[in-house]
Structure 1
Amino acid sequence: MSNRTGLLSPGGRAVVITGASSGLGKATALHLARVGFHVFAGVRRQEDAERLSAASTGRLTPVILDVTDEKSVQEAVGAVTEHIAEAGLWGLVNNAGIAVTAPLECVAPELLRRQLETNVVGQLAVIQGFLPLLRARGGRVVNVTSGVGNVAIPYLGAYAAAQFAKEALSDALRRELGPQGIAVSVVQPGAIMTPIWDKMSTEGNSTIEGVAEPVQELYRGPFLRFLETNENAARTSRKTPDDVALAVFRALVAKSPKTRYGVGRDATGGRLLARLLPDRAIDRVFGGIVTPTH
């Protein structure tokens, strides 16, 4: 059913969103419930579920879901299946993720594995789990990535690797699932102020302090300057989590959804940068980030 704007109506449609306890995921879950979707909001802890339920003004059902835990994913799929029975699932919004921030020389293998398990491996496990429900409804997958999925920025190499991989998964899934009637879109937020920035700063400092002193000396100044500049960009951004929620909404209700929705000039600009400039020119753009100051 379509409304007078030509968009599909959210009424009677169920959506699952991961990483809904805070930030972009929380804002998106609350918005989707408010406009009429029945939202199954994935959170990792019961206290997060209770807070989210209290904040909701629509049909929102919290679901305990840790994307890095196969048993948790299976149980979440079972719980959603019980709720919607044969009606099927209209949307799956893969938003859960972390952002490892550190020079790659300082990123321990276990930290890189955690980054990839959360943002890539876990995302695919969730998609695989919910595909039968999506197929039953002719539903949609919306993968939330980042502007860093276009251009690899210094000190965000691990995060960029995960986002590039998620972009690749999205492209392959779109081509594989399209003939089955399942659309796949990507939402690429730029720098937007959420609690993730405090985590990035705290964990980034901790990571660099965990390596040998000579290595710390190589990176400390530029890296700390990068953290400050990055956080300031998020604080002064004109975009908010609600803008991301709106982009996800559009991907879910458009009759012919776009393959990608950029949110913020830095996200859309990064995509143009990657397409138009040669590698060496992009290297020069980021040269100031890694140059020590004396």
Structure 2
Amino acid sequence: MAALPAILVTGASSGIGLATAQLLSKSGYRVFAGVRTLSDRSIQENLSEIELDVSDEASIRAAVQKMEHELEGAGLAGLINNAGIADVAPIEFHPVRNFRAVFEVNVFGLVAVTQAFLPLLHRAQGRIVNMGSIGGLITIPFGATLCASKHAVEAISDCMRLELYPAGIHVTCLQPASINSGSAEKLAAKNEQTIASLSPEGQRRYADMLRRFMKVTMESETKGSPPSLVAHAVLDVLRSEAPPARKLVGKDHLLLKLAAKALPDSIRDRLFRRLFFGSPSFGSCPASQDQETEHHSDLSVRPSASKD
């Protein structure tokens, strides 16, 4: 009997990653579920668990060696770069080390894993699915680390798609919108720690805004689509004869796409100030910025799931 096509899913211990690994396993794939540490696992028996910390070069090398042994010369049919982390804070008081930590996982980890597994992908002319975010299109307040990293994922995905096409390797960037993955609960607890760490002046400026932001974020996630919706989008990409370059996923994706592509910056800014701060004047920008009319397509969204 022919071997099942093999898929690697990073960040598979919970949320979108776990839902994707489970669905692919039920759909005729041999799934390797990457988790940062084996203690993180919530993996079912029908999944092959593999320890993979995308920010650790030694962990990546060990994962490649293990999969080469398991595949016995066969190739990798798909790589799902799902692992990611998020951080929420005002830029004024956000340590640069936190930016580096998020980029280490969301951007550099994605590149490092892809480079390491490309020899296996070449054997099977496999496919790559990079987990972007609506945050790669629409930038929201306090989401600089996530949104900047997901904008980078968009650009890297474009380069991968162009460079790997001649080798028969298709690359798709998925852009989940509001997904009820449980990540907002983790960020809510961290949000209070962030507020407590601010100086008195920082708390005066940002505490109310951060709490309002997190309240909106929690409400958005509660009403969001289930992780299984993203998992089915991954499956569609793997099965498609002509996979898309990018795909928005979520029941609110059309509205968000309109906000990203069609609205002038001035209108988007007013909408976001009202949504996140409760008033167009609360935390408002200078009048000169309010009067901008140029169209811009760089904006982002709700924080994503954890690294695993």
* TM norm. shorter chain > 0.5: yes
Question: Residue in 2 aligned with 1:286?
Answer: 272
195-204 or 144-153: bigger deviation: 195-204
Question: Residue in 1 aligned with 2:151?
Answer: 164
Cα shift readout 1:143-173 (whole Å, capped 9, x = no counterpart): 1111111111111111100110111110111
Question: Residue in 1 aligned with 2:237?
Answer: 251
Deviation at 1:76, TM superposition (A): 0.6
Cα shift readout 1:10-57 (whole Å, capped 9, x = no counterpart): 9721000000001110111111111110001100122334x30xx34x
Cα 1:176–1:167 shift into 2, 3 Å: same
Deviation at 1:84, TM superposition (A): 1.0
- The TM-score, its normalising length taken from structure 2, stands at 0.86
Q: How do residues 131-146 of structure 1 correspond to structure 2 at under 5 angstroms?
A: 131-146=118-133
Question: Residue in 1 aligned with 2:16?
Answer: 24
34-43 or 81-90: bigger deviation: 81-90
Match of 1:193 among 167, 180, 201: 180
SS in 1 for 2:181: coil
Q: Indicate if the aligned counterparts of 1:147 and 1:268 stay in contact, CA closer than 8 A.
A: no
Q: How many residues align?
A: 278
Deviation at 1:121, TM superposition (A): 0.6
Question: Residue in 2 aligned with 1:264?
Answer: 250
Report the residue type matching 1:30 in the other structure.
Answer: Q
Question: Residue in 2 aligned with 1:35?
Answer: 27
Instruction: Establish whether residue 47 from structure 1 lines up as the match of residue 43 from structure 2.
Output: no
90-99 or 269-278: bigger deviation: 269-278
Distance 1:150 1:169 in 2: 14
Deviation at 1:209, TM superposition (A): 2.0
Question: Residue in 1 aligned with 2:194?
Answer: 207
Distance 2:189 2:65 in 1: 36
Instruction: Establish whether residue 228 from structure 1 lines up as the match of residue 220 from structure 2.
Output: no
Q: How do residues 8-19 of structure 1 correspond to structure 2 at under 5 angstroms?
A: 12-19=4-11
Deviation at 1:85, TM superposition (A): 2.6
Distance 2:69 2:189 in 1: 40
Report the residue type matching 1:34 in the other structure.
Answer: K
Identity %: 38
Report the residue type matching 2:29 in the other structure.
Answer: F
211-220 or 279-288: bigger deviation: 279-288
- The TM-score, its normalising length taken from structure 1, stands at 0.90
Distance 1:61 1:254 in 2: 25
Distance 1:260 1:207 in 2: 34
Report the residue type matching 1:25 in the other structure.
Answer: G
Deviation at 1:202, TM superposition (A): 1.5
Distance 1:225 1:182 in 2: 44
Cα shift readout 1:224-265 (whole Å, capped 9, x = no counterpart): 01101111111122x101101000111111111111221114
Deviation at 1:192, TM superposition (A): 1.4
Cα shift readout 1:193-222 (whole Å, capped 9, x = no counterpart): 223111111122212321211011101112
Instruction: Establish whether residue 110 from structure 1 lines up as the match of residue 133 from structure 2.
Output: no
Cα shift readout 1:52-88 (whole Å, capped 9, x = no counterpart): 0xx34x4x21000000101001111111111113210
Question: Residue in 1 aligned with 2:305?
Answer: none
Question: Residue in 2 aligned with 1:7?
Answer: none
Question: Residue in 2 aligned with 1:4?
Answer: none
Give unmatched runs, 5+ long, in structure 1: 1-9
Relative contact order (alpha carbons < 8 A, sep ≥ 6): 1 or 2 greater?
A: 2
Cα 1:96–1:132 shift into 2, 3 Å: same
Q: How do residues 123-134 of structure 1 correspond to structure 2 at under 5 angstroms?
A: 123-134=110-121
Runs of 4+ in 1 over 4 A off after TM superposition: none
Question: Residue in 2 aligned with 1:176?
Answer: 163
Structure with more of its chain in helix, by fraction: 1
121-130 or 190-199: bigger deviation: 190-199
Distance 2:3 2:26 in 1: 11
